Amino acid sequence: MRLVFAGTPETALPSLRALLDSPRHEVVAVVTRPDAQSGRGRKVHPSPVAELAEESGIEVLRPVKAGDPAFLDRLRALEPDCCAVVAYGALLPQAALDIPRHGWVNLHFSILPAWRGAAPVQHAVLHGDEITGATTFRIVKELDAGPVFGVVTEEVRPGDTSGALLERLSVSGAGLLAATLDGIEDGKLEARPQPSEGVSLAPKISVEDARVDWSAPAMRIDRLIRACTPGPGAWAEFRGQRVKLGPVRVAAGEERLAPGELAAGKHRVLAGTATDPVELGEVQPQGKRLMSAVEWARGVRPEARECLR
């Protein structure tokens, strides 16, 4: 089939590579978000998907909005049989959805109808799901509610960050997307409506959402920090300065500390919660490099009963 691929971040690269390597399909163009500032120097860079497409000699479309008339005209001229979508990052108007004869097929990183929305993997980790997965479905106007073509499942491991889990799902999901498009071309794959029960929403997790509440149980804090790693990054305040926090370990059975209270030793740093303390991993003080919690504590020398807030 003639395909147009829509995607933006690194998460989409395994799927784009799988389709570029497929002998059954031709990727005639890529749709991605406009070039944006990134990195410490805040220089303007193309998206990872745009870079791979350009390296592969494929046309790159960067509409500010997917409803722009010039973009819609170009999409019609390309005459795609189907448009594949992985983490594109913008809404698609009905005028765009109507162009390919097989519609737009999205790879979503949850087992729908669970975790519809922008941050399904983060919410799976945050809520302690033991199993998650990826789903291919036909895009409709309602958010992530279209009929489903296929599903793959993935175990959520005890120490998974959202970044580690998403990396595995992006690979297994790429195989699912390629198989889905093969089945559509063969005429043997039928999309089935999502069940009406079990719907849950996964809105974007903001920087404010990522602030650690030390009055929460240790398990909740562990999940929040892993869900926010690598982005947006969990954090707390110490002496009025923001400190970014990497994954922690629940120190079960240790003597209780007040919420946020620090106990710095030679080889570890504990912080109090509503239940067991947690052992801090890596931290990044505001304006400084990433370091171990022990190294950080050696520098700041927490006083008795001093707390993260």
Rounded Cα gap, residues 198 and 116, in angstroms = 11
User: Could you give the percent of the chain with pLDDT greater than 90?
Assistant: 96
Query: Binning pLDDT at 50, 70 and 90, where does residue 13 land?
Result: very high
Q: 193, 252, 247: which is closest to 217 by C-alpha?
A: 252
User: Residue 195: what pLDDT?
Assistant: 95
Mean pLDDT of 177-198: 97
Tokens at residue 154, please?
């993935």
Tokens at residue 69, please?
């008339």
Task: Summarize pLDDT for 38-61 with one digit per residue, the tens.
Answer: 766 668 889 999 999 999 999 999
Rounded Cα gap, residues 50 and 255, in angstroms = 52
* Cis previous bond, 230, omega within 30: yes
* Cis previous bond, 147, omega within 30: no
Residue 158 annotated as binding?
no
Which whole-number Å values give the CA distances from 281 to 247, 250, 262, 288, 296, in the listed order?
6, 11, 13, 16, 10
Task: Summarize pLDDT for 100-132 with one digit per residue, the tens.
Answer: 999 999 999 999 999 999 999 999 999 999 999
**By three-state DSSP, how is residue 34 classified?**
coil
Residue 200 annotated as binding?
no
Residue 113 annotated as binding?
yes
pTM confidence score:
0.95
Q: 55, 60, 120, 113: which is closest to 87 by C-alpha?
A: 120
Query: Binning pLDDT at 50, 70 and 90, where does residue 237 land?
Result: very high
Query: Binning pLDDT at 50, 70 and 90, where does residue 37 land?
Result: confident
User: Residue 39: what pLDDT?
Assistant: 64
Which whole-number Å values give the CA distances from 157 to 45, 130, 154, 165, in the listed order?
34, 7, 9, 8
Tokens at residue 173, please?
């999901």
Residue 277 annotated as binding?
no
Task: Summarize pLDDT for 66-104 with one digit per residue, the tens.
Answer: 999 999 999 999 999 999 999 999 999 999 999 999 999
The distance in angstroms from the start CA to the end CA of the chain is 55
Rounded Cα gap, residues 235 and 81, in angstroms = 46
Work out the number of other CB atoms within 10 angstroms of the CB of residue 264. 18
Residues 19/27, Cβ–Cβ less than 8 Å:
yes
Rounded Cα gap, residues 308 and 300, in angstroms = 12
Cα dihedral across residues 194, 196, 197, 199: positive or negative: positive
Statement: residue 252 has pLDDT above 70: yes
CA neighbours within 13 Å on the CB side: how many for 146?
19
